[in-house]
Amino acid sequence: MKNSITMTDNRTDKSYDFDILNATRGPSVVDISTFYAKTGMFTYDNGFTSTASCKSEITFIDGEKGELRYRGIEIEELATKHTYLETCYLLLNSKLPNKTELKEFDLELRHRSLVHENLRHLFAAFPAGAHPMATLSAATAALSTFYYDHIEIANEDGYQEMARRIIAKIPTLAAFAFRHSIGAPFIHPDIDRSYTENFLYMIRAYPGGKMHRGVNGEHKIKEIEIKALDTIFTLHADHEQNASTTTVRGVASTGAHPYVAISSGISALWGRAHGGANESVIKQLEMIGSVDRVNEFIARAKDPNDDFRLMGFGHRVYKNFDPRAKILKGLQDQLKDELNLDSNLMEIAQKIEKIALNDEYFISRKLYPNIDFYSGVILTALQIPKSMFTPIFVIGRTVGWITQWIEFKKDKSMKIARPRQLYLGK
């Protein structure tokens, strides 16, 4: 007997059967693709909170347990035992690379990190001080003019080449976007540097390759800084069908160029309710200004008559401690010790964290610190400007977006995205 669910229209007593599709992990789903044909009605799901829009083998989240897996591997293992490039390879190939595969992958990304000179000149058209997210989105869309043939990709070799090209170039474009925003000359990629180190180099170096003083006034990039940023990239690599990923898949459904789809994801990520949240966390910590004022703002957050909301707490999916936040909490403590960090913002954040993790108001509402709470503090500790927080999110998430794009294109059953509506007009 086929698994199904029966729905009854109490107005007419008519009943309709719909198949149940079982998942390998997580909830099963009801296949309502024939709902309109059978009932003459649409379903209503504001924000798609109970709707599965696709079948996927990439990322799994259990929000109640606080679980996140890429291709079946727990995020804790990937973030602590593997590099971001290994994670990229895993997402693209459904397996972790061996030493030879990783070396070849690394070398290819290094050599693909350079961008066409005409694309570099595009930034001159943008106004001085433009936010890096705006110019990064535009420059990513412009990549489609240099690689227009990618719109016809139909084989695995083509998918891999396209994916590796965009993964390699996004850090370069992000660094260019930042340097344009502050009026600094561009620093080209150094293929002798690793993926994550190269990005830090491109945003920190002076022309000629000399480094400005980084954490603790040193002229070199420290291994702990590279490890910290690499971990952040890994934690952001994919996160199931969130707003920006859904946007990428929606644009993909129209047959648009893959780099245009990625550009649309960047634009969606910019929102403060999505990727821009970690920037908002730091702005709020700066507004609080002192450890002595923390209790005042905690009280405001608990006051139902006050519009103030504490940024960096709670999550749309996780109703337990965000596993990514747990990893970043440990990383933050490590950075504080190894880099001798003792900033005012970190002290404020740690007091807020201590109160929230022990206060019944936050515990009962499952308002745990999320990834944005810790990532903003860590990026600040690494002396990365707030304007670059979301572009760094973009760098980490690009592999997820392009993997989702590939999965969509390979699924012959997928259709153009076309939600319906409950019309209430005249």
Q: How confident is the model at residue 213 (pLDDT cuts 50, 70, 90)?
A: low
Q: Which of the following is catalytic: 106, 230, 238, 372?
A: 372
Percentage of the chain surpassing pLDDT 70? 96
- By residue count, the chain amounts to 426
Token pair of 17 as six digits: 């059967």
**Ordered structural domains, the chain, with CATH:** 4-68 (2.20.28.60), 75-426 (1.10.580.10)
Q: What is the mean pLDDT of residues 70-84?
A: 97
Residue 217 has pLDDT above 70, yes or no: no
At residue 414, the pLDDT reads 86
Average pLDDT, the chain: 91
Look up 219 and say whether it is catalytic.
Answer: no
Look up 17 and say whether it is catalytic.
Answer: no
Percentage of the chain surpassing pLDDT 90? 67
Radius of gyration of the chain (CA): 23
Strands 67-70 and 73-74, by their bridges, are antiparallel
With the C-alpha atoms ordered 232, 234, 235, 239, is the resulting torsion angle positive or negative? positive
Distance CA 177, CA 183 (A): 10
Q: How confident is the model at residue 214 (pLDDT cuts 50, 70, 90)?
A: low
Residue 319 has pLDDT above 70, yes or no: yes
At residue 209, the pLDDT reads 66
Secondary structure (DSSP) of 183-201: TPPP----TTS-HHHHHHH
Token pair of 268 as six digits: 């969606």
Cβ–Cβ under 8 Å, residues 74 and 67: yes
Question: In terms of pLDDT, which residue wins out, 220 or 169?
Answer: 169
pLDDT digits over 399-424, tens only? 999 999 999 999 988 899 999 999 89
Q: Which residue has the tokens 């794009």?
A: 405
Show Cβ contacts of residue 339 under 8 Å, excluding neighbours closer than 6 positions. 215, 216, 222, 224, 225, 381
DSSP state of 337: H
Q: Which of the following is catalytic: 82, 315, 322, 333?
A: 315
Helix (H) or strand (E) holding 59: strand 59-62
pLDDT digits over 11-25, tens only? 999 999 999 999 999
Distance CA 24, CA 113 (A): 37
Show Cβ contacts of residue 96 under 8 Å, excluding neighbours closer than 6 positions. 73, 82, 86, 89, 90
At residue 215, the pLDDT reads 57
Cβ–Cβ under 8 Å, residues 153 and 162: yes
Cβ–Cβ under 8 Å, residues 257 and 162: no
